[in-house]
Amino acid sequence: MEIGYNALIIPKELTANADAVLRNYEEIYEVESVGKAIHKVKRVYTILNKDGERYGEFALGYDKSNPIRVLEGRIFDAMGNQIGKLKKSDIKDQAAFDGVSFVSDARYKSAGFGASTYPYTVEFYHETSSSNLMFYPRLAPCDINTSVENASLEIIMPANLKLRYREQNLKEKVKITPLANGKTQYRWQVKKEPVLKNDKFGLEFHEKEPAVYTAPSDFEYNGYTGNMNTWENFGKFIWQLNQGRDVLPEATQAKIKEMVAGEKDEFKKIQKIYEYMQSKTRYVGIQLGIGGFQPFPAAEVDEKGYGDCKALSNYMRSLLKTVGISSHYALVRGGDDGVPVNKDFCKNSFNHAILCVPTKKDTVWLECTDQTKSAGYMGDFTGDRYALLITEKGGKLVRTPTYKQKDNLLLRSADVVIDADGNAKVNINTTYTGLKFDDYAGYADYSKDIQKKHLNEKIEIRNFNLDDFDIKVTKNMIPSATEKLSLSVGKYASKSGKRMFIAPNFINPFNFPDLSETDNRTSDIYFYHYDYMDSDTVKFHLPEKYHLEGVANEVNYQSAFGTYKTSIKIEEGLVTYIRTMTMKGGKYPKDKYKELVMFFKSINKAEKTKIVLVSET
């Protein structure tokens, strides 16, 4: 019996709101040289319910540079009695797929335990060695709906190497101990952390959890040495990897020069070459050898017509270089997953490569993995974040474009012709720009059949038939799409006796979260990450022998978070309804929370407004 694994002795404050409890986590990372380390990890979870079962599963990646030396596992009942052990036949070994790469030499081993009754406890232990030391471990033991009883990280460094670290939300700081062999031990511990409260519109989890991030100063990766003390130095390492990979065949160079011959406008030159690159290549993720960081040569991409983000960005850079346009290969962390780049702590958190082209008028950013993207437009995936420009002098951290309210628009006009039975013919014209276009971009260039299928899934109107549609995309630095829909809607207006009831917000209804005024707010408000405006103008053509009987009052709500306004114009046989909403993304103090609650409640109430018609007969 493992006395410490008895689930009945877990403090109540750690089981409250928890799916699982991290009973013990011990991680030891011993650096032997600039290019060699031994890594040992033991983790013990007590699983309290079905939602905690994910902690009974384990997956460990490896490759030739990071082999697995030991992998063990055990399972215990509620009292701490061992009831099972991981056998060799229980461990699956398969090729890894990271969601980005299609070709990779990485693999992973996985295994799992389960029990018929809760609680039960699982223990996993593994040892690996590594000869690629660009990445050092982090301690971030908390997880959603999971508490921590004890977790520790120990890093042992040789005398000639320096450890760098960043601590966040820790009750106890690092303990540094000189060892007899001249090495230095760094140790962190996190104890008795209950489930972290998840405020709506609160801090991201990675911002509020206790954590330690570590990184090397000097490191070795696949025979290349580098230094990560500064962004400048890390950029020099990436520059070194990219050297000699921008050479193109003479025939391709001649073709590109001819393509832009006579074109005086620099942006149009960039645009033409970018669209050529898009038409010639496709994205294939590749992670072979040092392929995770080094692009394939431009000549190889030119020949094969495909590459990953690094290869395609390097290829585009090579094409521009052919006609004398200078550009910078750039690293960025794309998407919303994971911990974003911290400007004050140099660490490789990047997962994507793009291209930055400085011009006299503006800086043009290019996403080289998307065959439909507009030149100069980053969008939500890579916009408004840090990127590391790779220059001959080293790395330079800059911000990618931020898109403002004037850029992110949804502008809609609609004509609704209602008959005496409540059926309607509806014509809708909508323009999407900027980040509002992002949701649209995925299918704007698809076939009509795929577009129709998507529209049928997207349209929220009940009992509709899509009679006709047309989609046009305009590619600019701020792209836009215009969507024209013709619909037949059965029983659009509901009837009761002589009255007919119309829901004016039927095309694009807003439904904000129902927030509680009594919520014990613990963090500031992090409200949407961008600004935008939605505006709808809907003209309702009334059926014959019906006239307007009643309509809700116009509203005009103003708050720190945005505005919501409606207006109604009444004419003979026609009611025009206008609704405009703006949202102001950003960080707000927690004492503004009640204002946010009331803003959402007011909008949700206004969205339910009805227009009432009455029959003259």
> How far apart are alpha carbons 6 and 4 in whole angstroms?
6
Q: What is the CA radius of gyration of the chain?
A: 29
Give the pLDDT band of residue 107 (cuts 50, 70, 90).
confident
Max distance between CA atoms of the chain, in angstroms, equals 100
> How far apart are alpha carbons 607 and 566 in whole angstroms?
10
List all residues 6 or more positions away from 301 whose beta carbon is below 8 Å from its beta carbon.
Answer: 281, 307, 311, 312, 314, 315
pLDDT on residue 101? 44
Q: To the nearest whole number, what is the mean pLDDT of the chain?
A: 93
> How far apart are alpha carbons 352 and 331 in whole angstroms?
6
pLDDT on residue 617? 77
CATH class of 3-225: mainly beta
pLDDT in tens, 320-336: 999 999 999 999 999 98
Tell me which DSSP letter residue 220 carries: E
Q: Does position 100 have pLDDT exceeding 60, yes or no?
A: no
pLDDT on residue 542? 96
Q: What is the residue-wise DSSP string for 84-104?
A: EE--GGG-EEEE---SS-SEE
> How far apart are alpha carbons 585 and 562 in whole angstroms?
9
Architecture of domain 230-399: Roll (3.10)
Q: Is 254 helix (H, G, I), strand (E, B) or coil?
A: helix
Give the pLDDT band of residue 306 (cuts 50, 70, 90).
very high
Of 576, 589, 498, residue with least CA distance to 541: 576
β-strand pairing of 20-33 with 36-47 = antiparallel
pLDDT on residue 516? 83
Q: Is the peptide bond before 119 cis (omega within 30 degrees of 0)?
A: yes
Q: What is the mean pLDDT of residues 570-585?
A: 96
Percentage above 70 pLDDT, the chain = 97
Give the least confident one: 145-154, 302-311, 434-443: 434-443
> How far apart are alpha carbons 317 and 324 in whole angstroms?
10
Q: Does position 308 have pLDDT exceeding 50, yes or no?
A: yes
pLDDT on residue 64? 84
Tell me which DSSP letter residue 436 carries: H
Tokens of 500: 């007919």
The residue ranges of DSSP E strands in 439-522, in sequence order, are 464-474, 480-489, 494-496, 499-502
Q: Does position 286 have pLDDT exceeding 70, yes or no?
A: no
Q: Does position 154 have pLDDT exceeding 50, yes or no?
A: yes
Q: What is the mean pLDDT of residues 426-437?
A: 97
Domain spans of the chain, in order of start: 3-225, 230-399, 409-615
pLDDT on residue 287? 55
The residue ranges of DSSP E strands in 295-368, in sequence order, are 306-307, 328-332, 352-358, 363-366
Amino acid in the structure at residue 505: N
Give the pLDDT band of residue 560 (cuts 50, 70, 90).
very high
Tokens of 54: 């994910």
pLDDT on residue 341? 95
Q: What is the mean pLDDT of residues 435-464?
A: 89
pLDDT in tens, 162-178: 999 999 999 999 999 99
pLDDT on residue 291? 52
List all residues 6 or more positions away from 223 whose beta carbon is below 8 Å from its beta carbon.
Answer: none
> How far apart are alpha carbons 241 and 220 in whole angstroms?
12
Which residue, chain included where needed, has tokens 């101990």?
A: 177
Give the least confident one: 103-107, 402-406, 437-441, 488-492: 103-107
> How far apart are alpha carbons 49 and 37 in whole angstroms?
37
β-strand pairing of 36-47 with 120-130 = antiparallel
Give the pLDDT band of residue 65 (cuts 50, 70, 90).
confident
Amino acid in the structure at residue 175: K
Q: Does position 365 have pLDDT exceeding 80, yes or no?
A: yes
Q: What is the mean pLDDT of residues 433-438?
A: 95
List all residues 6 or more positions away from 138 whose beta carbon is below 8 Å from its beta carbon.
Answer: 153, 211, 212, 213, 214
Determine contact, residues 381/200, Cβ cutoff 8 Å.
no
Buried-exposed string 465-504: b where 16+ CB fall within 10 A, e elsewhere: eeeebebebebebbbbbebebebebeebbeeeeeebebbb
Amino acid in the structure at residue 461: I
pLDDT in tens, 188-236: 999 999 999 888 899 889 999 999 999 999 999 988 999 999 999 999 9
- Quickly list H helices, 260-395: 266-280, 298-304, 309-322, 379-382
Q: What is the mean pLDDT of residues 465-485?
A: 95
Amino acid in the structure at residue 526: Y
Percentage above 90 pLDDT, the chain = 84
CA 330 from centroid of its chain's CA atoms: 18
> How far apart are alpha carbons 327 and 171 in whole angstroms?
45
Q: What is the residue-wise DSSP string for 552-595?
A: PPP-EEEETTEEEEEEEEEETTEEEEEEEEEE--EEE-GGGHHH
Q: What are phi and psi of 189, to 5 degrees?
A: -140, 140
Q: Does position 102 have pLDDT exceeding 50, yes or no?
A: no
For the segment(s) 409-615, the CATH number from 1.10.10.10, 3.90.1150.10, 2.40.30.70, 2.60.120.1130 is 2.60.120.1130
> How far apart are alpha carbons 239 and 229 in whole angstroms?
16
Q: Does position 445 have pLDDT exceeding 90, yes or no?
A: no
Q: What is the mean pLDDT of residues 499-511?
A: 94
pLDDT on residue 157? 98
pLDDT on residue 325? 98
pLDDT on residue 363? 97
